[in-house]
Amino acid sequence: MGNLEIYDTTLRDGTQAEDFNLSVVDKIRISKKLDELGVDYIEGGWPGSNPRDGEFFREMQQQSLKKARLAAFGSTHNPKGSPEKDPNLKALLQARTQVITLFGKSWDVHVRDALKVTLDRNLEIIHDSLAWLRPQVQTLFYDAEHFFDGFQANPEYALVTLKAAQEAKVDCLVLCDTNGGTLPGRLVPIIQRVREAFPGVALGIHAHNDCECSVANVVAAVEKGITHVQGTINGFGDRCGNANLCSIIPNLQLKLGIPVLEEEQLRRISEVSRFVNELANIRHNKYQPYVGSSAFSHKGGIHVSAVAKNPETYEHIRPELVGNVQRILVSDLAGRSNILSKAHRYGLDLSSKDPVVLEILSQLKDLEKQGFQFEGAEGSFELLMNRAMGRQKRYFQLLGFRVLSHKTTEDQPPQVEATIMVKVGGQVAHTASVGNGPVNALDNALRKALERFYPELKEMRLEDYKVRVLSSLEGTGAKVRVLIESADGENKWGTVGVSTDILEASWQALVDSISYKLYQEEQKKQRGKG
């Protein structure tokens, strides 16, 4: 078996899931997180299909990734035209990615009913599209759409479509279970037939989850020699979703012994799972294998008694291998190790016996009970650790704020004004500002009050703002969690606030955002002196 490649398509196929939406800023942040996780490829979107994906690829040209290679996705050329004149193929090249993934039709039903061309014409379209792209791109993958359905209906033709792609010298033939209805027992013999027909050719798998078999199908495919695996974080995708990388990667690495990620990267997979959920504003699935908060929790008395003696009695792996925790341990050793790991990443020097670790852990538990989550809010988490260590000063003190929203006519938006009073050192600043909504007005007023003391705040901007209702049972009185993304010319960071009052939650996140910027500037000056 050759080296296994992980190809993440959360930013393209994952966004086809109902209620799963990402801004360009979200997609950039997730790309960075996936790169840290250690995936090989990140499919960023379909640049020829919508302006947002085009903007994402333009923005990513200014970004750098450590390991992952960015892929643009698109279809074979329009049946009525030719590749050199096809706007979709040109948009793929304009994305300026090292990798392009093209999909084409493998199922004769789709050729006749969707493309409305002859079977021979479809073969020309596949070959000519790929052959035209081949000299213009570093890596070229071919997604054989509906391959397993196509093979079961007409095996000879499905194989011929792969041959048309292979003759164009693609780097990998990816077999797609696009309808997600293939069972492992039927998938395995088909893969075996393909391997016999294309010896030595790299093969991939792209599975959907419509019969709850996508993860099993991927694992079975890898056991049959497939070396390129496509999937999404948390299994997001059209209809019932895609193959879930948060289950696939641990299965391959911990069950089959295939070295997919470094051990430290594998420990981040739970964090990445929650990070994607937070940015998509979706509640985390606590029952999800490996990364869910209930994945290693124990309630039954017999279970609790047994795992206290030996965790292996009711746990198939050690939860810390995937960055999760066993939730009944009184000693909280797993939680402590997570704190130490994060502290090390932020350059903070803590030891396992440091009482600060227990202090941070205690604060985290209390905050999580209140509804705080720090995936997607790295700035707030670093500030929390620094406060516990006595390393962060208080940059300003709130003396009070007031926000007024005044609506005069039914068809006009309300006029919003925020007034704020803060104390910096021994001086009091009292300012007012208007804005597009109460949070924007409050942000403007706070900046106005602080910028004469801290001119570096002029470099800072608020890039994204999300609100999540934490429980629907209380209706309009429910707690909300506010997640803010901020940036300056060099860095981006997230902060979080929680309250039953949306303005109070927003205020908490705003204060952390500004405090984090000022803390970073302070650290920069200290490094300069050193």
* 399 contacts 416 by C-beta, under 8 angstroms: no
Distance CA 11, CA 34 (A): 11
Spatial separation of the C-alpha atoms in residues 221 and 217, rounded to whole Å: 6
Interatomic CA distance for residues 81 and 77, integer angstroms: 7
What is the Rg, in whole angstroms, of the alpha carbon atoms belonging to the chain?
26
Task: Provide the residue type at 491 as one letter.
Answer: N
Is 510 domain-assigned?
Answer: no
Residue among 437, 429, 481 nearest 457 (CA): 429
Chain CA centroid to CA 203, Å: 25
- For residue 529, being part of any structural domain is answered with no
- Please give the model's pTM, rounded to 2 decimal places: 0.77
3-state secondary structure of 135: helix
CB 58 within 8 A of CB 91: no
| Residue that has been written with the tokens 């997607």 in this structure | 376
Q: Out of 340, 358, 388, pick the residue that ends a domain.
A: 388
Residue 511 lies in a domain: no
pLDDT of 341? 62
Residue 221 CB partners (closer than 8 Å, separation 6+): 175, 187, 188, 191, 205, 207, 229
What is the chain's mean pLDDT, rounded?
A: 90
CB atoms under 10 Å from CB of 304, counted, come to 12
Task: Quote the tokens at residue 83.
Answer: 């590749």
Between 358 and 235, the more confident residue is 235
Lowest-confidence range among 93-107, 236-250, 294-308, 333-347? 333-347
**Residue numbers of the domain that contains 449:** 396-453
Scan for tokens 């929680």, then name that residue: 498
Using the 3D structure, point to which of 428, 453, 478 is the last residue of a domain. 453
Name the 3-class secondary structure at 15: helix
Statement to judge: residues 16 and 47 lie in one domain: yes
Q: Are residues 81 and 219 in the same domain?
A: yes
23 and 152 co-located in one domain:
yes
pLDDT tens sequence across 185-211: 999 999 999 999 999 999 999 999 999
Inter-CA distances, 353 with 342, 349, 350, Å:
16, 12, 8
For residue 143, tell me if it sits in a domain. Answer: yes
Same-domain pairing of 226 and 138 = yes
Distance CA 5, CA 321 (A): 20
- The full length of the chain comes to 530
Choosing from 361, 388, 415, the residue where a domain stops is 388
Q: Both 272 and 324 in a single domain?
A: no
Q: Average the pLDDT over each of 24-33, 229-238, 471-480, 517-526 and give the range with the smallest value.
A: 471-480
Domain contains 492: no
How confident is the model over 250-266, as pLDDT tens digits? 999 999 999 999 999 99
Q: Is 262 exposed, middle or buried (0-12, 13-18, 19+ CB in 10 A)?
A: exposed
Q: Is residue 503 part of a domain?
A: no
Q: Mark whether 210 and 88 lie in a shared domain.
A: yes
Distance of CA 109 to the CA centre of its chain: 35
Q: Are 350 and 343 in contact (CB under 8 A)?
A: yes
Regarding whether 59 and 11 lie in a shared domain, the answer is: yes
468 belongs to a structural domain: no
User: Which carries the bigger pLDDT value, residue 520 or residue 255?
Assistant: 255
Q: Over pLDDT 70: what percentage of the chain?
A: 92
| Same-domain pairing of 11 and 80 | yes
Give the three-state DSSP class for 140. Answer: strand
H or E element that contains 8: strand 5-8
Whose CA is closest to 493, among 484, 502, 501, 504?
A: 484
- 8-state DSSP, 255: I
- Domain count within the chain: 3
Beta carbons of 451 and 471 less than 8 angstroms apart: no
Collapse the DSSP code of 480 into the 3-class scheme (helix H, G, I; strand E, B; otherwise coil) and give the result: strand
Is 199 a member of any domain? yes
